[in-house]
Amino acid sequence: MLEGEAFARITVRGEARRWSVNRIITIGREFGSGGRELGKRLAEKLGIAYYDKEILVAIAKKTDFAVDYVQQILSRRPELYFPITVGQSFYPIVDPILEQNNTVYSEQSRIITDMAKKSDCIIVGRCADYILKDMHPLRLFVYAEMDFKMDRCRLRAKEHEDLTDRKLTQQIKRIDKNRASYYQFYTGRKWGDKLNYDLCINTSYIPIKEAVDGIAKIFS
């Protein structure tokens, strides 16, 4: 800890937690669980910054990659090539895709850290709970049962979009699987494991507004 650095304290899971002067909240979430809405509402209630897609734009500016390409990189685990073996010699392949993935992750880490140092904030996804672990953020994970996630996705679907139960279930599972793989690749941790978070919230049974009110009380 730097000399003179102030810390706030709260109690989570029965023990004192501390973070630097800036209040930092990270939110991991299952697709369709309402984690993004929860983050926006909580940021508005607490009057603090909210970062989500803004991180993608910042990464794109730093790397000269298109925003859509950055989103694609951040949405799934990087693929690794095994080295080619000839006789007793190994010839490692330089994988440009993996290099791009690592470049994006490095920029993501730097940008997220700068945002957290700048002011109180909420950061959604992007391995922020791991990247900012030394800053002691309040780490949330938002999840829900499949029926709830399907209903929520349908409410936000584009008009005339073909969303059968089978297609929607496959989409939700695929996105969550990619998020889990990406998270594990860069953090070595299991995405969604309660041991990696301070609060896990099931929005199937807790309305998002009530969850926001309850979380906000931690800071009052």
> Above pLDDT 90, what percent of the chain?
58
Evaluate if residue 94 carries a pLDDT over 80: no
Evaluate if residue 99 carries a pLDDT over 70: yes
- Please provide the average confidence, as pLDDT, over all residues in the chain: 83
| In contact, 91 and 150? CB cutoff 8 Å | no
- Domains defined for the chain, CATH in brackets: 7-218 (3.40.50.300)
Evaluate if residue 3 carries a pLDDT over 50: no
pLDDT at 30: 97
Neighbours of 115 (CB within 10 A): 20
Contacts of 84 (CB under 8 A, 6+ apart): 90, 91, 92, 93
Evaluate if residue 196 carries a pLDDT over 70: yes
Evaluate if residue 42 carries a pLDDT over 60: yes
pLDDT at 11: 43
Mean pLDDT (whole number) for 154-170: 84
Q: Give the model confidence (pLDDT) of 72-93 as tens digits.
A: 777 766 665 444 444 444 445 5
pLDDT at 22: 84
Plot region of 151 (φ>0 → left; ψ -120 to 50 → alpha; else → beta): alpha
Q: For residues 41 and 70, give the distance between their C-alpha atoms in angstroms, rounded to a whole number.
A: 26
Q: Give the model confidence (pLDDT) of 105-137 as tens digits.
A: 899 999 999 999 999 999 999 999 999 999 999
The number of angstroms, rounded, from the C-alpha of 60 to the middle of its chain's C-alpha atoms is 18
Alpha helices in 2-142 (DSSP H): 35-46, 53-63, 67-74, 96-118, 128-131
Residue entry with tokens 């709830």: 148
Evaluate if residue 8 carries a pLDDT over 60: no
| In contact, 196 and 139? CB cutoff 8 Å | yes
Q: For residues 123 and 41, give the distance between their C-alpha atoms in angstroms, rounded to a whole number.
A: 13
Evaluate if residue 97 carries a pLDDT over 50: yes
* DSSP structural state of residue 194: G
Evaluate if residue 140 carries a pLDDT over 60: yes
